[in-house]
């Protein structure tokens, strides 16, 4: 096969995207439009971009994981659907009313400039890690087709997305996201069709071992990690929230978000078929993406190969560009504000553009460290970031009394301990200390730390009052019920050996800590 045609197709496609970015730049009238596209997007914009953004990470992660573990990886995509329901039902409205652009800015307005700077740095640093989740996909395919080193393929992809995001901002993401989403789904459909043609439809569901067709084959603990990651991410999904905040009003955003779940559900179901089909065709290989490249190189017609490669390329760009722009927004706007150097929207735009260039370099460096495990990168980044910020976002939404000191303690305890928990197990993808995933430890400790600090602070400084100083009898049932739940939760968690054996100690610990945090909002209230 003359693979030069594929390279030419990538170059032409990328050139079109860069031209669209230039078009967006010319139509970005005010500096503020750079961050929210003038808040003029309709339902269709949200459906297409939302279906593409989350569909991209579902596509890459599920192809790679299903190659080894079968159809049960659909739970990864199901988790993203649950996340979107929570965003539409609970998170979108209060952020829309406050005209939020970045979550780090939202937290800075609530807790002060140091939190604005630290949360901006956390979000900014981890967004390139999120972007790695998809950008390594075409890198591995290009490595097989052209023997390119990973860093060269990643750099190529990173430069392309930088080329169209840098000047057009959110408007360029909206325009290019439409083309990338269409191309990605066309690539998926073509890939599934090619695999069914090569394997046979019946054989696709009968030839592999039974565990490949088990809906819970990956195991309950991993399924709970995936669902827990995405559910908690509903509070800190800045890239999606930025996209939703470009809409005309809240109702448009909600309708678009709900409708975008349709193509994502399609992606959730179809992507694992690619993985199990590749396993059937290449049973001796150990990577879904490498196997896909071999399929392209050895068995498919040129026109089919071009569509599939462009589909993977589009997936890497639509996800990577959204993550990079979101991270740069936090760094450029919020760290700049905290340091006192971003005084106007024009300053914020300039600093965001500088941050985009810096984050692009970070992206290339990170992508060369662990290029064979795209899903691990995403879960690792979500774990540390969510552990750092979960208590702050919850407090900003429902606990007005939580102090700045409690925010510092929560960020440090959750973020550091989740990272340390990973390090103790040598950053393994499957084996964790005591069998508990670092996500459960980090988030649980973050919630516990914030709550205990607030109780201690209220008793010591008396700047906030405890509710039993003047109990509202209308809410007595909340206190009683919460106390019973905490007691029962503690009793259940005490039998840790059985829970460790079943692999559910981590999720139960998090659920108990969440209830503990909720009780804190009832017990420690403002004056």
Q: How far apart are CA 85 and CA 260, in angstroms?
A: 11
Domain 4-367 has CATH 3.40.50.970: no
Q: In the predicted model, is pLDDT for residue 470 greater than 60?
A: no
Q: What would you report as the CA-atom Rg of the chain, rounded to the nearest whole angstrom? A: 23
pLDDT score, position 469 = 43
Q: How confident is the model at residue 471 (pLDDT cuts 50, 70, 90)?
A: very low
Residues 6+ apart with CB under 8 A from 57: 80, 133, 134, 319, 378
How many angstroms separate the first and last alpha carbons of the chain? 74
Q: How far apart are CA 104 and CA 129, in angstroms?
A: 18
**Which residue's structure tokens are 């490949």?**
212
Q: How far apart are CA 377 and CA 132, in angstroms?
A: 7
Q: How far apart are CA 237 and CA 67, in angstroms?
A: 28
Q: Where does 112-149 have alpha helices with state H?
A: 113-146
pLDDT score, position 314 = 93
Longest dimension (CA), the chain: 79
Is residue 7 a contact partner of residue 217, using CB atoms and an 8 Å limit?
A: no
Q: What is the pLDDT of residues 316-357, one digit of tens each?
A: 999 988 888 889 988 988 888 888 787 677 888 888 889 999
From the number of C-beta atoms within 10 Å of its C-beta (0-12, 13-18, 19+), residue 23 rates as: middle
DSSP per-residue string spanning 481-508: HHHHHHHHHHHHHH-HHHHHHHT-HHHH
Residues 6+ apart with CB under 8 A from 355: 124, 327, 328, 329, 331, 332
Is residue 455 a contact partner of residue 524, using CB atoms and an 8 Å limit?
A: yes
Q: How far apart are CA 139 and CA 133, in angstroms?
A: 11
pLDDT score, position 338 = 85
Question: How many CB atoms are located within 10 Å of the residue 266 CB?
Answer: 17
Nearest CA-CA partner of 363 in 124, 523, 144, 189: 124
DSSP reduced 3-state for 90: helix
CA–CA distances in Å: residue 334 to residues 48, 173, 324, 337: 29, 21, 15, 5
Mean pLDDT of the chain: 83
Q: What is the pLDDT of residues 35-47, one digit of tens each?
A: 776 677 788 888 8
Of the two residues 369 and 521, the one the predictor is more confident about is: 521
Lowest mean pLDDT among 182-186, 189-193, 345-349, 522-526: 522-526
Q: In the predicted model, is pLDDT for residue 204 greater than 70?
A: yes
Average pLDDT in the 77-87 region? 90
Q: In the predicted model, is pLDDT for residue 492 greater than 60?
A: no
Reading phi first (left if > 0) and then psi (alpha if -120 to 50, else beta), residue 115 is in: alpha
Q: In the predicted model, is pLDDT for residue 225 greater than 90?
A: no
Of the two residues 502 and 254, the one the predictor is more confident about is: 254
CA angle 116/57/94 to nearest 5° reads: 40
Q: How far apart are CA 347 and CA 324, in angstroms?
A: 19
Q: How confident is the model at residue 182 (pLDDT cuts 50, 70, 90)?
A: very high
Q: How far apart are CA 90 and CA 395, in angstroms?
A: 14
pLDDT score, position 170 = 83
CA–CA distances in Å: residue 120 to residues 124, 440, 494, 522: 6, 23, 38, 29
Q: How confident is the model at residue 468 (pLDDT cuts 50, 70, 90)?
A: very low
pLDDT score, position 493 = 58
Residue ranges covered by each domain of the chain = 4-367, 374-527
Tell me the β-bridge partners of 466.
Answer: 524
Q: In the predicted model, is pLDDT for residue 53 greater than 70?
A: yes
Q: What is the pLDDT of residues 402-425, one digit of tens each?
A: 889 999 999 999 999 988 988 888
What percentage of the chain has pLDDT greater than the value 70? 87
Q: How far apart are CA 519 and CA 59, in angstroms?
A: 39
Q: Where does 299-373 have alpha helices with state H?
A: 302-329, 336-339, 345-367
Nearest CA-CA partner of 154 in 139, 133, 137, 173: 139
DSSP reduced 3-state for 41: strand
Q: In the predicted model, is pLDDT for residue 476 greater than 60?
A: no
Average pLDDT in the 145-164 region? 84
Please report the sign of the dihedral spanned by the C-alpha atoms of residue 422, residue 427, residue 432, residue 434.
negative
């Amino acid at each position: 096969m003359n693979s030069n045609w594929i390279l030419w197709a990538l170059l032409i496609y990328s050139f079109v995207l860069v031209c669209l970015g230039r078009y967006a730049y010319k139509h970005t009238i005010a500096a503020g439009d750079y961050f929210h596209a003038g808040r003029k997007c309709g339902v269709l914009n949200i459906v297409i971009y939302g279906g593409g953004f989350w569909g991209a990470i579902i596509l890459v992660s599920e192809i790679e994981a299903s190659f080894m573990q079968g159809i049960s990886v659909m739970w990864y995509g199901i988790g993203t659907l649950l996340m979107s329901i929570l965003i539409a039902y609970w998170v979108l409205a209060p952020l829309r009313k406050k005209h939020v652009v970045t979550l780090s800015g939202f937290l800075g307005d609530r807790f002060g400039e140091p939190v604005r700077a630290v949360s901006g740095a956390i979000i900014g640093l981890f967004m390139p890690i999120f972007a790695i989740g998809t950008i390594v996909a075409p890198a591995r395919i290009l490595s097989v087709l052209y023997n390119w080193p990973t860093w060269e393929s990643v750099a190529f992809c990173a430069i392309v997305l930088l080329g169209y995001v840098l000047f057009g901002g959110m408007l360029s993401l909206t325009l290019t996201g439409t083309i990338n989403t269409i191309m990605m789904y066309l690539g998926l459909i073509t890939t599934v069709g090619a695999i069914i043609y090569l394997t046979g439809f019946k054989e696709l569901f009968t030839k592999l071992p039974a565990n490949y067709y088990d809906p819970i084959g990956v195991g309950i603990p991993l399924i709970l990690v995936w669902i827990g990651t995405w559910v908690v991410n509903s509070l800190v999904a800045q890239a999606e929230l930025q996209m939703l905040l470009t809409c005309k009003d809240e109702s448009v955003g909600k309708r678009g978000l709900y409708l975008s779940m349709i193509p994502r559900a399609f992606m959730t179901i179809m992507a694992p078929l690619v993985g199990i089909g590749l396993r059937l065709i290449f049973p001796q290989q150990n990577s879904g993406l490498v196997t896909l490249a071999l399929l392209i190189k050895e068995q498919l017609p040129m026109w089919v190969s071009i569509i599939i490669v462009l589909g993977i390329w589009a997936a890497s760009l639509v996800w990577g560009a959204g993550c990079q722009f979101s991270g740069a927004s936090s760094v450029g706007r919020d760290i700049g504000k905290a340091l006192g150097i971003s005084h106007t929207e024009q300053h914020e735009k300039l600093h965001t553009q500088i941050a985009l260039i810096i984050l692009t370099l970070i992206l290339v460096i990170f992508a060369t460290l662990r290029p064979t495990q795209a899903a691990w990168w995403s879960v690792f980044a979500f774990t540390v970031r969510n552990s750092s910020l979960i208590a702050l976002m919850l407090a900003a939404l429902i606990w007005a009394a939580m102090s700045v000191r409690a925010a510092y303690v929560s960020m440090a305890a959750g973020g550091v301990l989740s990272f340390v928990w990973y390090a103790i197990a040598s950053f393994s993808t499957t084996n964790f200390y005591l069998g508990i995933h670092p996500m459960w430890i980090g988030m649980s400790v973050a919630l516990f730390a914030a709550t205990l600090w607030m109780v201690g602070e209220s008793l010591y400084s008396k700047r906030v009052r405890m509710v039993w100083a003047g109990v509202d009898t209308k809410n007595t049932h909340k206190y009683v019920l919460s106390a019973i739940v905490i007691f029962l939760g503690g009793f259940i968690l005490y039998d840790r050996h059985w829970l460790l054996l079943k692999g559910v100690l981590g999720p139960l610990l998090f659920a108990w800590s969440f209830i503990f945090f909720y009780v804190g909002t009832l017990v420690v209230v403002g004056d």
